Amino acid sequence: MLDIKVIRENVKEVKQAMLNRNLNISFDQLLNWDGERKTIIGKIEQLRFKRNKESEEIGKLKRKSKKLPAELLAEINKVRDIIQEQEKQLLTIEKHIKDFLLRIPNIPDKSVPIGKDEKDNKIIRFVGKPEKLSFKHKHHWEIGEKLGIIDFAAASKISGPHFAVLKNEGCVLERAIISFFLDMHKEKGYKEITTPYLVNRTSMTGTGQLPNLEEDSFKCAVGDLYLIPTAEVPVTNIHRDEVLEESALPQKYVSYSACFRRESGSYGKDTKGLIRNHQFNKVELVKFVKPETSSEELESLVLDAGNVLELLGLSYRVVLLSTGDIGFSSSKTYDLEVWLAGCGMYREISSCSNFKDFQARRMNIKVKYSKNKKRELLHTLNGSGVAVGRTFAAILENYQQEDGSVVIPNLLRKYTGFDIIKP
């Protein structure tokens, strides 16, 4: 979340940053609470000082075996009661302040283009050139069903819409993509980690999923546990309430997980196929870095995510999201959009974000510098490395053949054990 000091000292700038996100937020009530909080703290400090002085007086009288004046005892009890009442008021105001701050999104980086929505995103570069098919192309869901490797009807019967059942070579291809991604990122220095798929409210709040995105989450009916929307949540929370040595940074993790999101299909698009499902697989990259290096770490994160697409021969483009399209916790986000030959368009396959100290403040994750022993909030970053189901779809669409078969990219063949999926 944002530092209340930043809001207090730069309220006009913060308000404008929210307007750039298309949010008209008044900070008047927050600043009123902040002022009340300061006043109450001052009162409590004065009362504690008075109580301590009176306690000293009582101590002196006891040592001299003198009778304690009733009025002195009554006064110290009165002061104690007032302190307790003031402390209750302080806790209430601090809760109001925290609840308010938890609902305020991150301030966009100055390099982020100002815009209303995805139409104002900026294309940074194209990587690879999409190949035009010499025959009538098919969408990945058509290809998969005809090959007998995807069964949407069975998934709908089992669970409902926006799920998929993989079969036969489809299962093998999915596992191959996951293993390939993990191996490639580990070669880049990312440490593999496997975490629970169920996390508590504190973990969801730490990365910014709660409270604002609670309606998009799957929550257990019993117990305060949530199915993870991305491995970013459990992996980033690993270092919650920790201080990392400067020499230990950057910490780089790669994690495969199933992901669960309720929002799929809610925008009236991607109602077919593997692009927007309630459950999907993803390989996630997470970084913990020093604040002074987070900008360059974001650029290298984008390169690491894009590298696996290049190795698979998949064309993509890098897009810088506008202020109207970046996520709640993000300060700056690049989307990688892969070319889908069957659909004839680019679709998001990875989102790489720099959260700066926004998440670290929620989770209390700090770096300790070696020279001056100073401790400050570090910066967190994450990116898909990349979405497995969408890679599966991209391979079907870009490697489809005229006879209905699909050729397996060269680097995946040692994982699949076959080089083609035939009708």
159-170: pLDDT as tens digits:
999 999 999 999
CA distances from 230 to 58, 108, 172, 227 (A): 60, 22, 22, 9
Looking at residue 6, its pLDDT comes to: 97
Looking at residue 249, its pLDDT comes to: 98
The answer to whether 382 is annotated as binding is yes
The answer to whether 349 is annotated as binding is yes
Neighbours of 377 (CB within 10 A): 19
d(C-alpha 38, C-alpha 129), whole Å: 60
Among candidate residues 300, 276, 291, the one with its CA nearest the CA of residue 393: 276
The answer to whether 384 is annotated as binding is yes
pLDDT digits (tens, 9 = 90+) for 317-327: 999 999 999 99
DSSP states along 2-57: --HHHHHH-HHHHHHHHHHTT-----HHHHHHHHHHHHHHHHHHHHHHHHHHHHHH
The answer to whether 175 is annotated as binding is no
d(C-alpha 133, C-alpha 369), whole Å: 55
The answer to whether 292 is annotated as binding is no
Q: At what angle do helices 388-398 and 140-147 cross, to 10 degrees?
A: 80
Beta bridge partners of 126: 317
Confidence of residue 69 (pLDDT cuts 50, 70, 90): confident
The answer to whether 212 is annotated as binding is no
The answer to whether 262 is annotated as binding is yes
**Would you say 3 and 98 are in contact if contact means Cβ atoms under 8 Å apart?**
no
The answer to whether 57 is annotated as binding is no
Q: At what angle do helices 169-187 and 140-147 cross, to 10 degrees?
A: 120
Query: 286: which 2 tokens?
Result: 């997470």
Residue 142 amino acid letter: E
Looking at residue 265, its pLDDT comes to: 47
The answer to whether 205 is annotated as binding is no
User: Of the given ranges (130-139, 268-277, 314-323), which has the lowest mean pLDDT?
Assistant: 268-277
In the chain, ranges of CATH 3.30.930.10 domains: 118-421
- 4-102 in CATH: which number? 1.10.287.40
Query: 215: which 2 tokens?
Result: 């309606």
Element (H, E) at 128: none
The answer to whether 284 is annotated as binding is yes
The answer to whether 263 is annotated as binding is yes
What is the average pLDDT score of the chain?
Answer: 94
The answer to whether 217 is annotated as binding is no
**Would you say 286 and 253 are in contact if contact means Cβ atoms under 8 Å apart?**
yes
The answer to whether 329 is annotated as binding is no
Element (H, E) at 275: none
Looking at residue 267, its pLDDT comes to: 52
d(C-alpha 237, C-alpha 388), whole Å: 23
d(C-alpha 286, C-alpha 312), whole Å: 22
Q: At what angle do helices 169-187 and 388-398 cross, to 10 degrees?
A: 110
In the chain, ranges of CATH 1.10.287.40 domains: 4-102
**Would you say 62 and 68 are in contact if contact means Cβ atoms under 8 Å apart?**
yes
The CATH number fitting domain 118-421, selected from 2.60.120.1440, 3.30.930.10, 3.30.565.60, 3.40.50.300: 3.30.930.10
Of all residues in the chain, what percent carry a pLDDT higher than 90? Answer: 85
Give SS3 for 73. Answer: helix
**Would you say 40 and 89 are in contact if contact means Cβ atoms under 8 Å apart?**
yes
